[in-house]
Amino acid sequence: MAVQKKTYFYIKRAYSKKSLEKKGLLASVKSFLLSEISFYC
């Protein structure tokens, strides 16, 4: 039981880390696009 809980915790932590990375990537792309748009305008 304890091992299952530990495994679930690690999977959950890895998943949240992945989603955070994805959010960070989206944010950087968005800021890059905004800076490009403001540069051309």
pLDDT tens-place string over residues 1-41: 577 888 888 888 888 888 888 888 889 999 988 888 877 76
Q: Which two tokens stand for residue 35?
A: 């800076």
Structure-derived torsion over alpha carbons of residues 29, 30, 31, 33, reported in degrees to the nearest 10: 80
CA–CA separation, 23 and 32 (whole Å): 14
Domain edges within the chain:
8-41
Residue type, 40: Y
Q: What is the 8-class DSSP label of residue 1?
A: -
What pLDDT shows up at residue 3? 79
Q: Which two tokens stand for residue 33?
A: 């696009």
